[in-house]
Amino acid sequence: MRILEDLNEEQREAVLYDKGPILVLAGAGTGKTRVLTYKIAYFILKGVPPEKILALTFTNKASEEMLERVRNLVGEKSLRMFIGTFHSFCLRILRNELSKVGRSSNFIVYDEEDQLACIKEVIKELGLDRIISSPRNILYLIERAKDSLIDPESYLLHSKAKFDYYREEVAKVYKAYQDYLKRMNAFDFGDLIMEVVKLFKERNEILKKYEDNFDWILVDEYQDTNYAQYILLKMLARKKRKIFVVGDEDQAIYAWRGATIQNILKFEREWEGCKVVKLEKNYRSTERILFHASKLISHNISRYSKNLYSVKGGGYPVIFRRFPSCEDEGRGVCLEILKLVNEGYNFEDIAVFYRTNAQSRIIEEMMRRYNINYEIVGSVSFYERKEIKDIISYLVVIAEPKQDMHLLRIINIPSRGIGKTTVERLKKFAGEKGTSIYEFIKNDELNFLKKGTRKSLKDFVNLIERLRGIEKEVSVSELVKELVKEIKYFEYLDSIEKEGVSFRKDNVGEFISSCVEFEENNEIVDLREFLNYLSLITPYDEYKREGGRVTLMTLHLAKGLEFKVVFITGLEEGILPYRDALYDPEELEEERRLFYVGMTRAKERLYLSCVYSRMLYGTPRFLDVSRFIEEAEIEVDYDRYRAHN
């Protein structure tokens, strides 16, 4: 088969094996995506029907890249298979099957901002706002519970068994939050997988349908799976045992969002007769970069033994510098960048990584001072910008008018003279009637309000009804254009903001372009599908490298990327490794993996730095050099340090 000629020996072994479960341990830069895409192409060319192949990833961007690569290998046949994220796959199952268990399949998926607003509302309704000071922390605990398939009732039992009063209060919020979602006919991100697992457990015929449907299940980045995803895969693959997973335990860096490294470490034991293939031939980094990265990660205990080697040869030395202060560190990074550009590198070839978002401030200031164009990844999401959230909220209300949170966001956008007092009264009276605010207004139960306010509210409902009337007849992009025109949104933006208004208008235009793009890439397009697509977008999906700009990002966002030149800043004890991990062996191993991920993003040059003194919470602190520098067998380059000062 001709495509096999493009693979090295280990890659070919992984692609050709088709007897049963297989674990591919793909070290950094060893061609993980190539193996996955060629495996799919191999199956299709061998005669496996594409619709019998399921490929699961963690980001839409990874799915799109994989689909494009498979398409280049086998043509249009690839369009008949499912390549997507765990969440989009589960979303599809719920859409198809929920009606069979008495639930509506026309649900809305809440994004993080919706979830947080909902949690705040629930805490207030329960009278717990004096006890619970951080709704975001409550949301985090609920999300982790869902990752572990723990429902509100089980969460409460666990909390009582441990005499944990705070967690008992969290359980109350969790229960009320789930009740609210059900009333709103909504799910959140965590529900998508949890509900499918629940569906499979309760309705064996539905599980059997999906078990039988797939001859092969392929999973990317298996080290990032959580318990819920692990159970989902076991249920789907238990019968045919045709499961192919690719991952690297040395790049497991998402425990804080529910991922468990144990899934990949115990895979071989759990799937009897499992074949393990190691990919160790690195095509990305130089030998020197790999040497130090390998020395570092060898200090971890929870890992498979791997010996990465580079096809690129020795390369430049890895440079480590210690600066007096954060300002000096930022200046040193900028001066080195300017020097690299003079040597022939472009700004887009270069990335600066840091452990926490707070570290970016000084680096940004220095970039501006030295006139270096840069972009920060993961700061404000495009879809979180005010003008985009306004449009999305309108679309949600058009699709599902009883979504009170979204309705309240846009009920006075543009201004209709509807103030906070009116909103609170609407919430109160609608709640007493047990109906949504939209239905309450529509039923004309507004005699307690002034005539002008009643008219404004009725005009608002009439607007939504008009748009609901055309929703099924026009494309999503046409609907957005009509909405923007109907509410005179650009005029509204002019009225509230003089500076930057053109950028906001451009963003609305870009949003309409995203609607068109979605329509072109999907056969079945309706408003709910588009809204669900938006809710599943992550910061990883939004990143597109721009020409002429240095990339600034946290180490967690850097996974999966590569740059010719990488700077990793803040290599001090308490920063990297982070202070919370210093006395916890498992967390310390995760911090070490995080640094390893950062190092292995570099293709040609790697610069590391730390400071003697860092300002933390307004107080200068003297910090030791990160233990990771010694573990990676890197020496301080004092000569280069003095050259900058």
Q: Known catalytic residues?
A: 32-33, 220-221, 251, 601
What's the CA gap between 311 and 223, in Å, rounded? 25
518: phi then psi, degrees, rounded to nearest 5: -65, -40
DSSP character string of 47-61: T--GGGEEEEESSHH
What's the CA gap between 117 and 100, in Å, rounded? 31
Closest CA to 109 of 417, 502, 396: 396
Instruction: Note whether 376 and 359 are within 8 A (CB).
Output: no
602: phi then psi, degrees, rounded to nearest 5: -80, 130
Residue 463: count other Cβ atoms within 10 Å of its Cβ.
Answer: 17
* Residue appearing with tokens 């993003």: 601
SS3 553: strand
Helices 165-183 and 112-125: crossing angle, nearest 10°?
A: 110
What's the CA gap between 353 and 403, in Å, rounded? 39
Instruction: Note whether 264 and 239 are within 8 A (CB).
Output: no
Amino acid at site 561: L
What's the CA gap between 202 and 77, in Å, rounded? 34
CA angle 336, 339, 343 (to 5 degrees): 135
Instruction: Note whether 418 and 449 are within 8 A (CB).
Output: no
Q: Which residues 6+ apart lie within 8 Å of 336 measured at CB?
A: 567, 607, 644
